[in-house]
């Protein structure tokens, strides 16, 4: 699986995305994240994309139902990955269009990303 929840401690929901992401894998992890958000009420998200190779070609990548139903409960999102992925990943997650702060940290800066998530919104 290329998208999975690997930790839910300290109010931070940590996901790891590796390999080539398929539309069905994204939908599956979004359903699991939504269930956690419903049970907790709010979430801060740490997304690790160090071994991410991009998105499967084709498919319907324009389903925004997860965002419509869950964005109000997401307080912050930090993404950690290779510098060359930054622009593509930030466009994909909708930085600047979503109602919460999103920051990108380069590989090796996971502790810095976590510290940023722990700061007050």
- Assign residue 50 the CATH number of its domain: 3.40.50.10600
d(CA 75, CA 26): 20
Question: Whose CA is closest to 58, among 21, 105, 98?
Answer: 21
When mean pLDDT is compared across 24-28, 36-40, 62-66, the lowest value belongs to 62-66
So what's the pLDDT on residue 7? 94
Backbone angles phi, psi at 7, to 5 degrees: -165, 150
Band the pLDDT of 1: cuts 50, 70, 90.
Answer: low
Question: How many domains does the chain contain in total?
Answer: 1
pTM flag (> 0.85): yes
Residue 30 lies in domain: 3-118
Question: Whose CA is closest to 110, among 51, 53, 52, 46?
Answer: 46
Share of the chain above pLDDT 70, in %: 99
């Amino acid at each position: 699986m290329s998208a999975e929840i690997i930790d839910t401690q300290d109010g931070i929901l940590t996901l790891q995305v590796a390999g080539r992401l398929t539309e069905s894998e994204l939908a599956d992890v979004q359903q699991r994240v939504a269930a956690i958000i419903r049970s907790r009420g709010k979430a801060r998200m740490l997304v690790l994309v160090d071994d991410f190779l991009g998105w499967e070609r084709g498919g319907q990548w324009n389903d925004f139902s997860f965002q419509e139903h869950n964005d109000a409960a997401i307080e912050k999102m930090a993404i950690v990955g290779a510098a060359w992925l930054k622009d593509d990943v930030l466009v994909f997650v909708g930085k600047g269009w979503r109602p919460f702060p999103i920051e990108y940290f380069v590989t090796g800066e996971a502790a810095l990303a976590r510290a940023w998530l722990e700061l007050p919104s």
